[in-house]
Amino acid sequence: MKIKIVVPTKVLLEAEVGKIIAEGKNGSFCLLPRHVDWVSLLTASILIFSDLAGNEQYLIHDEGVLVKCKNEVLIAIKHGWLEKKLGNLKEKLEKGFQTTEKEEEKTKILLKKLEADFMQRFLQINK
């Protein structure tokens, strides 16, 4: 099967895989190449997938959606981090959330500046 993992700003991964194990709103499930078409809302968890040689990789992610159609699986998430070793996920997660928090803080500051600019221009129009 072909897997494509996307976040809002980029494609994290496109690869051929033999198996996917994920956690949905209704529990965990496993997808194999001949599995029926499938749609699932994903919960924040660790998704496991194996390449064709059986080597596992891990994706730690927040909520998202998984769609399997024929031989393709599309996974759309807001944030996600890939790792080849399970033991490295904690470090990857901590770094990822630190980066995310910094980006969100910058966005909040920018929005406050835009609001202030809008109010200032609005008041000038009414004069």
| Phi, psi of 30, deg, nearest 5 | -125, 135
With beta carbons less than 8 A apart as the criterion, state whether 3 and 20 touch.
yes
Q: Using one digit for the tens of pLDDT, what is the confidence trace for 71-88?
A: 999 999 988 889 888 777
In the CATH hierarchy, which fold is given to the domain comprising 2-125?
Answer: ATP Synthase; domain 1 (2.60.15)
Average confidence score pLDDT of the chain: 87
pLDDT class for 98, splitting at 50, 70, 90?
A: low
- Residue 127: what pLDDT? 65
- Residue 42: what pLDDT? 96
- Residue 79: what pLDDT? 86
